[in-house]
Amino acid sequence: MYSEQIDIEFDQEELPVSEEEVHENHPYQRNRIKDLTDRERQDIYEALLEVSNNGKLKKNSTSVIAYRFNVSRRTVQRVWQRAMECRAIGVPVDVRSKKPNNSGRKRISVELSEVARIPLHKRTTIRSLAEELVLRKAHCIDGLEKES
């Protein structure tokens, strides 16, 4: 049907949008913060209060605030839920993290003098040393590293 060739000239060279740019600009694909500080939690709560109306959030407000603070929508919802629970029982609002400061595995110290008292042929491997000290291998390794 078209017998003539048509030359089209562009002002700018069009390049396909890379997948990285698509993910970079998408609000739910941004990098998430693993643990929020207590100040960040308080800031999220204050931002939620600004957009709330008598304790009711406006539509999509959790998504907007989640995007602003670079956290998941569920995290924002949890902060709001904790605040509402505090208000319901009549105590001051506390949105601080419930995670204790002293969490994780507790280290066991191993006295080097105890290790020295064990005969050399019974402490040639970590397994045999742990057996003689009546510890698990992991505790034995941790204790020796801590002493060094």
Please report, as a single letter, which amino acid is at residue 42: Q
Assess whether pLDDT exceeds 60 at residue 47.
Answer: yes
Beta-carbon neighbour count of residue 67 at 10 Å?
14
Of the pLDDT bands very low, low, confident and very high (cuts 50, 70, 90), residue 146 is low
Rounded to two decimals, what is the model's pTM? 0.50
Assess whether pLDDT exceeds 70 at residue 19.
Answer: no
Least confident stretch, 11-25, 39-53, 83-97: 11-25
Least confident stretch, 22-36, 67-81, 86-100, 113-127: 22-36
Average pLDDT for residues 6-10, to the nearest whole number? 58
Q: Tell which residue, 105, 93, 102, 114, has the closest CA to residue 44.
A: 93
Over residues 91-144, the pLDDT tens digits come to 998 888 877 767 777 777 777 888 888 899 988 888 888 888 888 777 666 666
Instruction: Using a pLDDT cut of 70, give the percent of the chain over it.
Output: 69
Assess whether pLDDT exceeds 90 at residue 42.
Answer: yes
Spell out the domain ranges in the chain: 19-89, 112-147
**Residue 140 and residue 110 in contact, taking contact as beta carbons nearer than 8 Å:** yes
pLDDT, residue 135, reads: 80
- Dihedral sign of CA atoms 53, 56, 60, 63 in order: positive
Average pLDDT for residues 51-60, to the nearest whole number? 86
| 128 φ/ψ sector (left φ>0, alpha ψ -120 to 50, else beta) | alpha
- Dihedral sign of CA atoms 83, 89, 92, 98 in order: negative
